[in-house]
Structure 1
């Protein structure tokens, strides 16, 4: 190999008319290759949009994980109940309770916001993972088998996509006799399945025509190893990036369903959408009860969206700058 390389360098020097007295002239520096992930990270760490989204997401996750330690009070004790009067049904901010009470129950609003981040994260992550798992199954079947299997799966996906996502989630949630956190997760995950299935199916169809898959088929490799060793691993990149965007949608959908009363009815475990629904009873006298959970939902969804869009641009060759 070294002899061949020296010969190529010599031919390059002769073609360029370079004198043999300059041994390094005409040679190309031998630099190591850069992986797709490393190349994407080089662009992402200089992208302010990604850094803002990453900061918001990391802060949200850390607050959700350490919520019981960060909350100044527990979320179910009416510390300010004695201050509730007909003239002031919702006590405002004061020492030790900067955001005041959450209503006539006198519970600390700030503590419930912090504790509610954990429930919101659990619902969003579990719903996204469940939707991702279902989408991978359907997308793999459609992309690997093709034919009538692809037709049946895609017609099912088209029917699900033809319905508005929130309407479909409400329809699924109402099928359960008693609303709970898990019915909320199931309803949202069903909405996300066709998104992942269609995206994975398209990626796998592109992989079916690639050279390495055609070479494996020519060598007699069976469909199973080709699908799970070659096609599926190389098709998951866009799907995983899409999961960050879907996570933001899952948080918004969870808040919408909880606002409509289809979430966990037990308010001892606060959740931002649930708090937003309870706040409408006091909107005339204390609009801040609706502002704070709504602001948390918007900021967190905005952070996940910024991070997901930046990841998609960094990993997409067509959008690289």
Structure 2
């Protein structure tokens, strides 16, 4: 019998009691001993990006958005190789009869039929994806650059610079985005693809500027920025090496959502006739506008490009919302 005053005897009795408890609980339970008390297993740390990716790859919403976006980008890149016909070639024009048959129906080799000029609709949809991608991405990039400039000025300097920049941003945000883009595009002497890109980019600038400014103001009061100032680091180095890189995360995530908005706004401007007037270079919004005279008798002319716009915008939106949730510290609790 173990001595009750012996510490080793107490340890043996505790281990025996733990083993008995594990046996009576149904088995398969790990037995903890006194030696395990206070022991913490070593494990490697996980970065924010790695943690976000672990969550995203198990998120079906993100996977659906990523799949749609990837297919759209690949389709736009290889559009000339995938399209079965030349989108500007009026192959079925001899069959177009303005009174009896203005829109040739679907047939072999033309699964979606042709438009009023005898051009293959499927080929125009495929090639039009490239124009839509170019407008959406370029408008987002230009808007991002403008927003980074204004947001960096406001967040880095503060004071009267912050006040002036933010009042300009507030004025821009007070105007409906589509109305502002329409006004800017209408100023151009001649409608083109670049007028649409510039108009949409200007609309996106205040969104990025406010977001970056808020992130940089939070960084100004952080410990590492205060430590850098205490050590005498130049203000420009603090802004561009410490504050700006740590503030770009929310802005990059927001850019994925802005691409979806840019695609919709570009389609709206092209629908209103402010986009590229040359219909030999198809674009989904332009195709919607051309389909209006035939919307009642031949709604498919408008349905197909509208579905393409909806699906692509949905893909970017799902991916952007999933990224924002995965990178948000509050959602990881």
Q: Shorter-chain-normalised TM-score: which range?
A: over 0.9
* Equivalent position of 1:88 in the other structure: 101
1:68-112 alpha-carbon deviations (Å, 9 max, x no partner):
001000101111111112211101100000000022x10000000
1:201-239 alpha-carbon deviations (Å, 9 max, x no partner):
000000000000000011111110000000000000000
1:1-321 → structure 2 map (5 Å cutoff): 25-85=37-97, 86-103=99-116, 105-320=117-332
Identify the range of structure 1 (294-303 vs 26-35) with the bigger mean alpha-carbon deviation. 26-35
* Equivalent position of 2:6 in the other structure: none
1:261-280 alpha-carbon deviations (Å, 9 max, x no partner):
00000001100000000000
1:109-146 alpha-carbon deviations (Å, 9 max, x no partner):
00000000000000000000000000000000000000
Gap regions ≥5 residues in structure 2: 1-13, 16-32
Q: Distance in 2 between matches of 1:122 and 1:246?
A: 14
Residue 164 of structure 1, CA deviation: 0.1
What TM-score do the two structures reach when normalised by structure 2? 0.89
**How large is the RMSD of aligned CA atoms in angstroms?**
1.5
Matched length: 303
* Equivalent position of 1:6 in the other structure: none
1:143-175 alpha-carbon deviations (Å, 9 max, x no partner):
000000000000000000000000000111011
Moved over 3 A (4+): 21-25
Identify the range of structure 1 (279-288 vs 126-135) with the bigger mean alpha-carbon deviation. 279-288
Gap regions ≥5 residues in structure 1: 1-16
